[in-house]
Chains A and B, each alone.
With several copies, the nearest count.
Chain A
Amino acid sequence: MARKQSEITPEIVAEHGLSVSEYEIVLDRLGREPNLTELGIFSVMWSEHCSYKSSRRHLGKFLTTGDRVIQGPGENAGVIDIDDGDAIIFKMESHNHPSFIEPYQGAATGVGGIMRDVFTMGARPIALLNALRFGEPDHPKTRTLVSGVVAGIGGYGNCVGVPTVGGETNFHKGYNGNILVNAMCVGLARADNVFYSAAKGVGNPIFYVGSKTGRDGIHGATMASAEFDDDSDEKRPTVQVGDPFTEKLLIEACLELMATDAIIAIQDMGAAGLTSSSIEMADKGGVGIELNLDKVPQREPNMTAYEMMLSESQERMLMVIKPGKEQLAFDVFEKWELDVAQIGKTTDTGHLVLKHHKKKVCDIPISPLADDAPNYDRPHTKTAPRPVLNAADIHETQDYNDALMRIISSPNIASKRWIWEQYDRHVMTDTVDSSQSGGDAAIVRIHGTNKAVAITTDCTPRYVEADPYEGGKQCVAETWRNLTCVGADPIAITDCLNFGNPERPEIMGQLVGAIEGMNEACHTFDYPVVSGNVSLYNETNGQAIPPTPAVGGVGLIPDLHKFATLSGAKSGDTLILIGE
């Protein structure tokens, strides 16, 4: 491989977010200097987002197994058994930063991404939820952010035709500079037809399906490097635009192909699209991968290998097809009018090899990319406990009417109807209960049966801020209670851990405390974590967001003749208070 000795300067390494010591490991594992494409690949694989380098060791503490767990964390989404051969596949994910930059598209692509995680595994998405945190209502940016985010979530979910059945919305000044947009998707599959990402077998064809690859979302480093910018007059936007129409076609096409036995492995192209999807598939399957980038469907001319590998264009999937089933795959995807191409094959080299314009542009061993990813034990300090409020110190209000008015007019308590009325809650005609009734959890019937899943998302950041451990416990417990309240047996949770900069010990302390508290609740309830996502560095000018471990819970209602809802109370009914 021809390369100039000086190609990778310390500045370029730094622009790629790799520390000096991380780059040392790259040099050591490769036994040479990487070229720019290879460096880009290491940088995204070892990014916080892909490698969970600050949180991995702590996430490992979570209870992740249980009687009903078919697949815990580690795949695109978690899978649980809901009897009769049915499985529920679900996950929650953040799209915080993109939504702050461009609220409509950021939120929309967040919904698209989480749905792909779910249907990648063979599930038809049946419900969406969203947990939103915004700044103060009178902050100058809040109004635009709220309306953009809500329109984006609705715009995507409504078009794809998956009901958005619930969520939560908070306003707090701690989110003025960093809003949180967490989306959860729940899908339904047959337990014996779940698809995984391990690319098994050598010589099997690799298919690319979905939208063409453009220069979307390729970050900083490329911008700075003139070599990669043909028309430098126009600074390239890093915002990705969602195309729910293509997503809908992808869902239908993938589910149609999944009903045959043509797919060996499948993975959606999320963050760092082609890079992380191909490496994860190869790593899990213990194989190598060779891709011919000339075959990648491209939206723009003159794309470099670097750009193709780092592009975050949306609505794309990578799959390993059984030899002999290529034509079947082409037929299905072409019927659904999707771009499709055979772009490579699995190999026995254990390497990721990329060819572009007949030249080898990348050749790196896969195992270090995945296994040697940094895994830090960042220093963490325990959050100092706050003094407990003494009830006696709080004066009784003189005017209960006024107190009540103040409570119900607070944006956090007030009706969220303005939001959920923009979401199609009824499509698929299995929504039994949703935001509309204000019940504690949404209820979605399993199509054609008399059972249902109950779904909720919860988190009270001010509790977590006061005491991460207790607050973490509370988030999990609240989902448990909300599911129980509608008559469901809680089964498992997903989570989205939104925190500030983990390199600050006090922030790391919040993260560790919350995880440990959540985990205690999980053990107490026998309520495992089956999937999740971590979003760190949510801070502006050194001001971190309130710690926000959003939890999504799923439970089963075995018999729809027995469930509870908020609607239906009549005057004269008896009210009963249970608990302390």
Chain B
Amino acid sequence: MKALVYVGLKPGVLDPQGRTIARSLNDLGFGEVESALQGKVIELDLTGDDLTAAEARVVEMCEKLLANTVIENYRIEMRAE
């Protein structure tokens, strides 16, 4: 099983990385870029095969470690493969 955990900044939190990316893309001639946000994807390989149970555990992992909920949101995607 795999879990994909997407972690991004909450709306309203200034994203210096995203801003710099947007600006550098503009500088490189990509004027169509209005803004950019940078987030993380963490791909976990998990033992077991109960997707629902595993997802509940991944939520726990996010709350305990993977996301800093003061500034970040997360979203989980489970895959059977």
Contact = CB atoms under 8 A, between A and B. Distances in A.
> In the complex, A touching B, CB below 8 Å?
yes
Interface of A: 101-102, 104-105, 211, 214-216, 231, 234, 236-237, 239-241, 243, 245-246, 299-300, 313-314, 337
Q: Which 7 residue pairs spanning A and B have beta carbons closest together?
A: A243-B16, A241-B14, A102-B70, A215-B12, A239-B70, A237-B71, A236-B12
Interface of B: 9-16, 20, 23, 68, 70-71
B23 A337 contact: yes
19 contacts: A101-B70, A102-B68, A102-B71, A104-B68, A105-B71, A214-B14, A215-B12, A234-B11, A236-B10, A236-B12, A237-B13, A239-B71, A240-B14, A241-B13, A241-B14, A243-B14, A243-B16, A300-B12, A314-B14
Residue with the highest number of chain A CB atoms closer than 10 Å, among B11, B14, B68, B70:
B14
Contacts of B10: 234, 236-237
Contacts of A337: 23
A214 B16 CA distance: 12
Contacts of A246: 16
Given A101-B70, A102-B68, A105-B71, A241 B16 contact: yes
Contact of A313 (B14, B15, B23, B71): B14
Contacts of A211: 14
A237 B20 contact: no
A231 B11 contact: yes
B14 A237 contact: no
A234 B12 contact: yes
Contacts of B12: 214-216, 234, 236-237, 300
Dominant SS at the B interface? loop
B79 to A, nearest CB: 20
Given A245-B20, A337-B23, A216 B14 contact: yes
A171 B16 CA distance: 30
Contacts of A245: 16, 20
Contacts of A104: 68
Nearest to B16: A243
Contact of A241 (B11, B20, B23, B71): B71
Nearest to A234: B11
A234 B16 CA distance: 21
Nearest to B10: A237
A250 to B, nearest CB: 13
A236 B73 CA distance: 12
A299 B14 CA distance: 8
Nearest to B73: A234
Nearest to A144: B65
Contacts of A243: 14, 16
A241 to B, nearest CB: 4
Contacts of A234: 10-12
A237 B70 contact: yes
A192 to B, nearest CB: 35
Contacts of B20: 245
A216 B9 CA distance: 13
Given A231-B11, A241-B9, 6 more contacts: A102-B68, A104-B68, A236-B12, A237-B71, A239-B71, A241-B16
B20 to A, nearest CB: 7
A313 B20 CA distance: 17
Nearest to B20: A245
A247 B15 CA distance: 14
A521 to B, nearest CB: 40
Contacts of A214: 12, 14
A105 B9 CA distance: 13
A234 B9 CA distance: 12
A118 to B, nearest CB: 22
A211 B13 CA distance: 13
A547 B68 CA distance: 31
Nearest to B70: A102
Contacts of B16: 241, 243, 245-246
Nearest to B15: A241
Contacts of B11: 231, 234
A18 to B, nearest CB: 26
Contacts of B68: 102, 104
A105 B20 CA distance: 18
A231 B13 CA distance: 14
Contacts of B13: 216, 237, 239, 241
A234 B15 CA distance: 17
B81 to A, nearest CB: 17
A216 B16 CA distance: 14
A4 B25 CA distance: 48
Nearest to A233: B11
A300 B9 CA distance: 14
Contacts of A102: 68, 70-71
A102 B72 CA distance: 11
A152 to B, nearest CB: 12
Contacts of A215: 12
B13 to A, nearest CB: 6
B47 to A, nearest CB: 17
Contacts of B23: 337
Contacts of B70: 101-102, 237, 239
B22 to A, nearest CB: 12
Nearest to A218: B12
A313 B14 CA distance: 8
